[in-house]
């Protein structure tokens, strides 16, 4: 993956905000301030064409069966730095299938993409800022650790584009993008997933992740 200097600087700026480094320049943060979710680059596989079905449930395409892989129920809240819910935020996620293939023309082996998996989904936060996706536990591909891409747009806050990772996954240590982040900036992008009965035909995991927008 190649980072342009401009996108790298923009990304590092957002990452520093997330680590609290902004406080050095802006003075002490108010007691109610929360740490901003760090941004990361969009990457090359944002869908060039959105799938026909683009809802919150990436595990169900039409009336088709479950895709390969381990189901993940990902939920959380989008709020601002003072803890206020951001209602009506448009949350998008995209990720590879359980075999490491993206539904994107730039990805090798796209023809082998698991068509039972939606690959991309979107949801709108409710009045309490809550969102939810049924998707797959991400898997590593190439030199990247498991991750889920996210973009959040709202009429009242800055757009956030980032990537979520799995807490304590061994591949995280080898990742160039994560290595660029100053600890504990990395810590702000980790999903803590635990075993859960999701009521599906296969056992899965529940993951919670809250976003903090500027």
Q: Which stretch binds Fe ion (CB under 5 A): 23-31, 43-51, 79-87, 178-186?
A: 43-51
Q: How far is the CB of 43 from Fe ion (least distance, A)?
A: 5
End-to-end Cα, the chain, rounded Å: 27
Tell me how many residues contact Fe ion (CB under 5 A): 1
For residue 176, report the phi and psi dihedrals to the nearest 5 degrees. Answer: -65, -40
Peptide bond before residue 160 is cis, with ω within 30 degrees of 0:
no
By beta-carbon proximity to Fe ion, the closer residue of 43 and 88 is 43
The least CB distance from residue 57 to Fe ion, in Å, is 21
Measured from each CB, the residue nearest to Fe ion is 43
CA separation, residue 112 to residues 50, 66, 127, 149 (Å): 18, 16, 39, 21
* Smallest distance from Fe ion to CB 85, Å: 28
User: What is the distance between the alpha carbons of residues 214 and 211, in angstroms, rounded to a whole number?
Assistant: 10
CA 161, CA 115: separation in Å to the nearest integer? Answer: 25
Q: Is residue 47 a contact point for Fe ion (CB under 5 A)?
A: no
Taking the least distance from each CB to Fe ion, the nearer of 20 and 43 is: 43
43 binds Fe ion (CB under 5 A): yes
Instruction: Pick between residue 43 and residue 47 the one whose CB is nearest to Fe ion.
Output: 43
CA angle, 7 as apex, 24 and 137 as ends, to 5°?
95
State the nearest-atom distance from the C-beta of 75 to Fe ion, in Å: 21
Which positions ≥6 away from 144 have C-beta within 8 Å? 171, 175, 177
Segment contacting Fe ion (CB under 5 A): 38-46, 175-183, 185-193, 195-203?
A: 38-46
Nearer to Fe ion, 23 or 44 (CB): 44
SS3 19: helix
Region of 36-44, 81-89, 129-137, 195-203 interacting with Fe ion (CB under 5 A): 36-44
Chain residues that interact with Fe ion, rule: CB under 5 A: 43
């Amino acid at each position: 993956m190649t980072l342009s200097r401009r996108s790298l600087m923009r990304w590092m700026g957002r990452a520093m905000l997330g680590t609290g480094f902004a406080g050095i320049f802006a003075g002490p943060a108010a007691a109610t301030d929360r740490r901003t979710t760090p941004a990361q680059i969009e990457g090359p596989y944002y869908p060039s064409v959105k799938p026909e079905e683009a809802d919150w449930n990436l595990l169900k395409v039409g009336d088709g069966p479950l895709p390969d892989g381990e189901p993940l129920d990902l939920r959380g809240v989008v709020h601002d730095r003072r803890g206020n819910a951001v209602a009506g935020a448009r949350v998008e996620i995209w990720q590879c299938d359980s075999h490491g293939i993206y539904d994107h023309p730039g990805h090798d082996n796209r023809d082998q993409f698991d068509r039972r998996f939606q690959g991309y989904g979107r949801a709108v936060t409710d009045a309490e800022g809550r969102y939810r996706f049924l998707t797959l536990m991400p898997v590593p591909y190439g030199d990247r650790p498991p991750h889920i891409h996210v973009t959040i747009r709202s009429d009242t806050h800055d757009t956030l584009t980032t990537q979520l990772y799995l807490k304590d996954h061994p591949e995280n240590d080898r990742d160039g993008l994560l290595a660029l982040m100053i600890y504990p900036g990395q810590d702000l992008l980790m999903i803590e997933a635990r075993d859960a009965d999701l009521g599906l035909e296969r056992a899965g995991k529940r993951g919670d992740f809250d976003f903090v927008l500027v």
